Structure 1
């Protein structure tokens, strides 16, 4: 089960780095999870740093051994994204969304992110190191951050981040325990049902060019189908940037 065992770390540079070290040191049980009260060098997508005040938010990593092949990686990403969506929408409500490929949004603001790193042994997908950072109790974010939001800002309540971390693990486990290629079409449809900006014209940037485009679909391999003018672009991770109004 995800969260069994569940380790609480007082201070660590990055839960993903720590979990990776555990995997490199020897076998790790599927679902082993590390929660940090404080991260000094939290990792986000594309090398971005993710920081938080001690005890304020959810910063955890779970080690998974999915019974999938490497060309089925997006299935795991969808399962983890839906688990995080299930968790956050329970507290923040129906305005919760999944931003491609696996950020958690509330309205036009980022509530959390997911970073999945893979450990391979030859062609075998041995482990997936899934890190999740969810904004829970931050009352105010630095002005240089574009569009963050916390559960406290949404609800006006202060939460126990550790107790919510246990609940997040339960939501992830509910999805992960049923992860199988047979359910993927259904889950991909559900993922798209909750997709941020689906069929809504908005601004994007590719290779320095900002333009108005519309998301039409997400393909089974994870590529984003974005309409630009009269063409449909099929984009991989990191190939497009979402632009937000200031």
Structure 2
């Protein structure tokens, strides 16, 4: 049976690091790291995003954090289940402050309205055929007011609410939300987890333009997801499944 310890995990503050995911991986490779251990960077110089993109953030203004998760009892085929739990925990946290316009943009971005508030990158540690750790890297725009022009649609919680937040307290709260979701990962709860994830998808049931990696634009309606995380789209009269990296949203 999958099991995640519910004891309160630690949060280490890093003044400056290349990548919190790299730092977490180094710690995991050096020693046994308790489940839920997190590292928060005040300044990250080479942050990672999905599909090789970089995550850019002003020092000390945003949550840049990685968590070490031990997926005991979960199989490698369940990787997207863990991904959904982390996304839902992040969604729960952001929605508390930003309200009902919060959504999960497939597969692991957090949106407020049509703007990106955060992103998640999960990297796995596999030894032999055993899934030992998942490192969940989370970047969440918290207090930043000005973004680089190259970023197409960023937004921070501060911009949405007009408030400033305590970085460390907010990171600890986000850590708790994610660990709460992970603590409820059970085979019997998988269908409910998928239902919750799908119901919170950005532009669910709405005709949306997409761009293929070959540069083709098409319209389709988001209908749901498969258990392995593929997105189910209604394109014309038929349903199609697309994998990570095959399409991007046109917003």
Please give the TM-score of this superposition, normalised by the length of structure 1.
0.96
* Other-structure match for 2:109: 103
Partner of 1:232: 239
SS of residue matched to 2:165: coil
Distance 1:3 1:111, change over 3 A: farther
Q: Which residue of 2 aligns with 1:163?
A: 169
Task: Indicate the larger mover: 84-93 or 205-214.
Answer: 205-214
Deviation string for 1:63-94 (max 9, x for gaps)? 01112000011110111111001100000001
SS in 1 for 2:16: strand
Structure 1 residues 3, 135: CA separation in 2 closer, same or farther (over 3 Å shift)? farther
Aligned to 1:182: 188
Long gaps (5+) in structure 1: none
Q: 1:231 offset after TM fit, Å? A: 2.6
Distance 2:99 2:188 in 1: 29
Partner of 1:6: 11
Aligned residues: 244
Given candidates 56, 79, 104, the residue that maps to 2:61 is 56
> Any unmatched runs of 5+ in structure 2?
1-5
> How does 1:193-232 map onto structure 2 within 5 Å?
193-206=199-212, 207-232=214-239
Q: Quote the Cα distance in structure 2 between the aligned partners of 1:110 and 1:55.
A: 19
- Please name the residue that 1:134 is paired with: 140
Deviation above 3 Å: which 4+ runs of structure 1? none
Q: Give the RMSD, CA atoms, in angstroms.
A: 1.1
Are 1:84 and 2:90 matched, yes or no?
yes
Question: Is residue 224–residue 236 contact of structure 1 (8 Å, CA) maintained in 2?
Answer: yes
Question: Is 2:49 the partner of 1:17?
Answer: no
Determine if the alignment matches structure 1 residue 112 to structure 2 residue 106. Answer: no
